[in-house]
Amino acid sequence: MAKSSSQKTVVQDLPQPSATELNRIVRPPEAKRLSGRHWDTLERNHPELIIRMGKRCVGMRAGHALQLHKARTGA
């Protein structure tokens, strides 16, 4: 079922995430989606925000990814 233009979700209508949700570590695909930037760009420009949990297991805090998105869009 497709949404009509009058049923689109507006960002301001969404509830604010809790501190626990912002503090969770998300995998690269979700960090990419939340920040609006490619994972390689995140690793190159923001290495201080990347969390390495093991040799191949990496992530980023959801709050950091959302902050990058806000900085990019000015929202």
pLDDT in tens, 8-42: 655 566 678 888 899 999 999 999 999 999 999 99
Residue 11 forms part of a structural domain:
no
pLDDT value for 36: 92
Residue 2: pLDDT above 70? no
The whole model's pTM is what? 0.73
Return the bridge partners of 26, or none.
60
Counting the structural domains of the chain, the total is: 1
Q: Which residue segment(s) compose the domain that 58 sits in?
A: 22-73
Rounded to 5 degrees, φ, ψ at 17 are: -70, 150
For a pLDDT cut of 90, what percent of the chain falls above it? 63
Residue 32 forms part of a structural domain:
yes
pLDDT value for 16: 82
Residue 38 forms part of a structural domain:
yes
pLDDT value for 10: 54
CA atoms within 13 A on the CB side of 55: 0
Q: What angle do CA 27, 33, 36 make, to 5 degrees?
A: 125
Residue 9 forms part of a structural domain:
no
Residue 34 forms part of a structural domain:
yes
